[in-house]
Structure 1
């Protein structure tokens, strides 16, 4: 299967919107907390704003899946982008922290709904033999956005103010809306009625999948979210300045981005386990090894290993979800899958936060590494090839 047949059908309907939304979303992730502080909010308020976004994502994982099953993936993606763009503009219209919490929740709801709709859409339009490469390419574009978005957003906010940065992000979102409206295919909805009871039945019917592959998904997301917190905290703990920590994070991200497409090729040629098992083990060991970092070079070495492990795992969570989703109940299944992954993303920083309140940061890295090791064993022992 040549590259044109694999990537052609999703070039404009998936990849281009992913870049546009990725750059704007990654910029907002760093700008919104800083904006809260800039208008007089506390550090706690800034952190709560990020938490409200996470709550919005978790709250809409299952409803978005049901809506996609009833009305189709394209409509859900368009509605979700509308929520995201509205939230981005909404941040510029208020200095009330409580209102900003609500806007952040809406932003998370839109982000979750869009991710669900996109996963379901890819499952619908891409053949199983090509999904690994498509999702790896998509994940690579997201990782690339993480390099561009924060830098561009911070530069624009510093030069022209937060409002200009927020409106620019909203402009990218509007562009993504137009691209999807024109180029995304309209798939026939899978359900005639909206039924939350069907989601409960799906949990029961696929309980083994959720208790094995679902645990794998939680483990990956826990480790991925933990690494974002651990590297800067450990860097600060051992006395590195902000610029040096930023350099380490950038080098780690560069290694991560370099591996996104090879990871997809390996998945499609040798199977999902060929990347899932070694990448989860490497991530777990390198995160645990952060406890031993004592200076620039030791932390850089471990961060590079983390980047390698994360890069090798590119797309594995989304690929497993799309592979395992039953065709007739795809959207509902992916809604549950998103709920699991969002739980893992929230759990990583929470575990670190609770640990550092009573113990050194090195203990937190050992705990995260230990949890990752247990998850890696579950993947090796219980997750079957898809």
Structure 2
């Protein structure tokens, strides 16, 4: 660690930086598997249920537009508190939904709030964590989200079993949002825990040449930032969009597949919860790989694995023992996704200016979320026109294409750590 970097202690992240993220993500992890199920209960067909589920990623995409500006103006903590309360309002509307359209609008609001919450924590990590620890810290942040996505479905299964109501799971996320806001209000601002202030960020130079080119532009807004960084976003950004697409595909296809082969609500939540445990268990290993061997050593096997897993699942729908195939592929996809934990956040942090990273990170996340929002819409369209199996196969091919783009464009100049 260079002398210009702030002193770093892992324990300084735990309560103020990671606990609110965990509380929020537990609730989000709980609702993700049940969104298509609730849509189905409200009368949606399989393709429409996929469309409703995609609204959370569309919300992420819309939320990326103002979030960089908002966080630059208000700071990370106020933005997260506001996002938690907006998400709670959206969840209340979801509970009251009487049609797939109303449910989709509610999920859209939740997605917008989730985007602001996630970007605020990403911006904090980029500013205050030394570069030699960056991949491990951001993988730990990614692992915190994954822990929530692991715990959430188990809690969802318990809530469904106890109450007999799938919509009651939305109430679980409301509790998570309120708890996250309370923690943020009561605990010390994590920026203060690092002994840093907004002024001290200017002491850092840009982490990459591309980051330096953005300094003159990054306070203007998302779209100007995107124009200034168009070379990055139209090359490596396409790979980031495909990573976002394949991750969103996995989150949408697995619940839809379970519905299509007749797995019950509670069992679906349980299977996805176990898959989340595997995903979560690999987060720190992913950070170690990136810090020691470079970003590509994590990204490439992850995307190849996700592609092969989607292709395998696409051929299994009508096979004997299709439930066993589903469970096996769900676990394999979790391994592939887990070894890529934190890759999008780490690449974004590598390219951003640490003095004020939020605007570029907003543009970077917008690009990745564009893929994440487009994938469920593509899945819904192909499912409606042909079949869910073909939609799954298409996503597998896109994952392999994304692996090729990452191989070509991931920067080779990012410093590596001697662990």
Give the TM-score category using the shorter length: 0.7 to 0.9
Matched residue, 2:394: 367
Which of the two has greater helix per residue?
Answer: 1
SS at match of 1:327: coil
Structure 2 residue 195 is matched with structure 1 residue 184: no
CA–CA separation in structure 1 for the residues paired with 2:314 and 2:19: 39
Matched residue, 2:289: 266
Superposed CA RMSD in Å reads 3.4
Give the CA deviation at 1:6: 4.4
- Answer whether contact 1:275 1:316 (CA < 8 A) is retained: yes
Give the CA deviation at 1:21: 0.7
- Answer whether contact 2:248 2:372 (CA < 8 A) is retained: yes
SS at match of 1:384: coil
Matched residue, 1:336: 363
- Answer whether contact 1:61 1:336 (CA < 8 A) is retained: yes
Structure 2 residue 306 is matched with structure 1 residue 306: no
CA–CA separation in structure 1 for the residues paired with 2:255 and 2:105: 28
Partner deviation per Cα, 1:142-184 (whole Å, 9 max, x = no partner): 2222232133134325534678654453233222112223233
SS at match of 2:335: helix
CA–CA separation in structure 1 for the residues paired with 2:373 and 2:60: 10
Matched residue, 1:210: 233
Contiguous gaps of at least 5 residues in structure 2: 2-6, 192-196, 203-216, 415-419
SS at match of 2:198: coil
SS at match of 1:183: coil
Give the CA deviation at 1:122: 1.1
Please point out which of 322, 346, 366 is paired with 1:319.
Answer: 346
Matched residue, 1:68: 71
Matched residue, 2:207: none
Matched residue, 1:148: 151
Structure 2 residue 411 is matched with structure 1 residue 384: yes
TM-score norm. by structure 1 comes to 0.84
TM-score norm. by structure 2 comes to 0.78
Give the CA deviation at 1:313: 0.6
- Answer whether contact 1:62 1:335 (CA < 8 A) is retained: yes
Give the CA deviation at 1:332: 0.8
Structure 2 residue 248 is matched with structure 1 residue 225: yes
Matched residue, 2:417: none
Give the CA deviation at 1:304: 3.4
Structure 2 residue 84 is matched with structure 1 residue 81: yes
CA–CA separation in structure 2 for the residues paired with 1:317 and 1:382: 14
CA–CA separation in structure 1 for the residues paired with 2:314 and 2:150: 26
- Answer whether contact 1:213 1:320 (CA < 8 A) is retained: no
Provide the aligned length of Structure 1 versus Structure 2. Answer: 380
Q: Bigger CA drift: 325-334 or 120-129?
A: 325-334
Give the CA deviation at 1:317: 1.0
Matched residue, 2:110: 107
- Answer whether contact 1:6 1:130 (CA < 8 A) is retained: no
**Structure 1 residues 19, 197: CA separation in 2 closer, same or farther (over 3 Å shift)?**
closer
**Structure 1 residues 134, 331: CA separation in 2 closer, same or farther (over 3 Å shift)?**
same
Give the CA deviation at 1:127: 1.1
CA–CA separation in structure 2 for the residues paired with 1:300 and 1:321: 33
SS at match of 2:190: coil
- Answer whether contact 1:263 1:275 (CA < 8 A) is retained: yes
- Answer whether contact 2:278 2:335 (CA < 8 A) is retained: yes
Structure 2 residue 179 is matched with structure 1 residue 172: no
Partner deviation per Cα, 1:333-369 (whole Å, 9 max, x = no partner): 1111221222222222222222233334443233212
CA–CA separation in structure 2 for the residues paired with 1:21 and 1:102: 20
Partner deviation per Cα, 1:108-162 (whole Å, 9 max, x = no partner): 2211111111110111221112121122222222222223213313432553467
**Structure 1 residues 117, 35: CA separation in 2 closer, same or farther (over 3 Å shift)?**
same
